[in-house]
Amino acid sequence: MTSVTLAFFVQNASAQPDSDESDESDTATEEEEGEEGEEDESSDGDDESDEDESDEDDARDEPEPKPEPPPPAVASEVEADAEEDDGKTDHDQWVGHVGVGWFGISNVPIASGTPAGDGDDPVVNPGAPEFIPTPAIGIRYWFSSLMGLDLGVGMSVSTGSVSTTTYAADKATITSLFFHLGVPLSIVEGEHVSLQIAPETNFGYAYSEVEPSYQPGVEPPPPAQLSGSRFDVGVRVGGEVYWGFIGLPELALEGSVGMYLTHQATDITVGGAHASQDNLVFTTSEYQSPWDLFTQHVRARYYF
């Protein structure tokens, strides 16, 4: 028994160092494997770092893309017009535009009278000159905010007849023409008003014929030819008010007064006989009735 136990003890003692060596070998192997893994990871990390640095260098070498331009601002027509009209008066808007309007009523003189006598010896029966109201319309064009041009024309034609129980006759046809030329100058401007001075000239002409009355057994005289003319040179001072304050800058009202040198002439001719009158008048604006303010001195105009 004692020999068996001793042999077992010796066997175990000889086997124990082998086990320790095996464990140390295993540990060393694991450590080597761990170091190799760390080296691999370090190598992978270095590769990734090198790749990142290479990418950064490539990105640095490439030119930066230009920023895209912003889209053009799209403004509505109302906004565009508002910007365009910003700072402009109503008067400035119509530089280079035409305005059509009323130029008032002007009185063109004409002689009055009847033929008398006979065909061999005609005689004139003159009367007091008459005046034919002639309405005029025209245009105004502004070359600049300072200077413009007025052109106007008017015409009037009247005729008719007279009849009674025992008598009938045609009235004389009366024709009158009127022409206006002016150069308005805008001397002071406001947001909705323009104060102006306008040198101008006018010319009017009227014509008519009067047939002789019937005389039994007598050769009638020739018809009486009636005519008259008017020539004005003067200046108006006033203002043009634009209705932009209610959203209608195209519409304007002009009020003015003037001073004129006027030459008026009338003539009546029957065959070789005639009678004439000449008048030279220097006058300011006159009002024969309250309505003259609107018919002669207030003008409406619309600009296009």
Residue 23 pLDDT grade (very low, low, confident, very high; cuts 50, 70, 90): very low
Compute the distance between CA of residue 110 and CA of residue 85 in angstroms, rounded to an integer: 50
Flag whether pLDDT at 45 surpasses 70. Answer: no
Q: Which residue has the higher pLDDT, 233 or 6?
A: 233
Of the spans 10-14, 63-67, 266-270, which averages the highest pLDDT?
Answer: 266-270
Residue 39's pLDDT is what?
Answer: 47
Q: What is the mean pLDDT of residues 51-55?
A: 50
Q: Which residue has the higher pLDDT, 47 or 129?
A: 129
Q: Which residue has the higher pLDDT, 248 or 11?
A: 248
Q: Per-residue DSSP letters for 183-237?
A: --EEEEE-SSEEEEEEEEEEEEEEEEEEPPPP-TTSPPPPPEEEEEEEEEEEEEE
Q: What is the mean pLDDT of residues 29-37?
A: 49
Cα Rg of the chain, angstroms: 55
Residue 216's pLDDT is what?
Answer: 82
Count other Cβ atoms within 10 Å, centred on residue 153.
14
Residue 88 pLDDT grade (very low, low, confident, very high; cuts 50, 70, 90): confident
Residue 131 pLDDT grade (very low, low, confident, very high; cuts 50, 70, 90): very high
Flag whether pLDDT at 133 surpasses 70. Answer: yes
What's the pLDDT tens digit per position in 186-203? 999 999 999 999 999 999
Compute the distance between CA of residue 24 and CA of residue 28 in angstroms, rounded to an integer: 6
Residue 13 pLDDT grade (very low, low, confident, very high; cuts 50, 70, 90): very low
Residue 232's pLDDT is what?
Answer: 96
Q: What is the mean pLDDT of residues 36-57?
A: 48
Q: 263: Cβ–Cβ under 8 A, 6 or more apart, which residues?
A: 230, 231, 232, 278, 279, 280, 281
Flag whether pLDDT at 264 surpasses 50. Answer: yes
Residue 28 pLDDT grade (very low, low, confident, very high; cuts 50, 70, 90): very low
Q: 111: Cβ–Cβ under 8 A, 6 or more apart, which residues?
A: 126, 127, 129, 130, 226, 227, 228, 266, 267, 268, 275, 276, 277
Residue 66's pLDDT is what?
Answer: 64
Task: Supply φ then ψ for residue 102, to 5 degrees.
Answer: -95, 130
Residue 21's pLDDT is what?
Answer: 44
Q: Where are the beta strands (DSSP E) in the chain?
A: 98-117, 122-142, 148-158, 161-163, 168-170, 174-182, 185-189, 193-210, 224-243, 248-270, 273-284, 298-303
Average pLDDT, the chain: 79
Residue 76 pLDDT grade (very low, low, confident, very high; cuts 50, 70, 90): low
Model pTM?
A: 0.68
Question: What is the SS3 assignment for 146?
Answer: coil
- pLDDT > 70: what percent of the chain? 68
What's the pLDDT tens digit per position in 201-218? 999 999 999 998 877 888
Q: How many residues are present in the chain?
A: 304
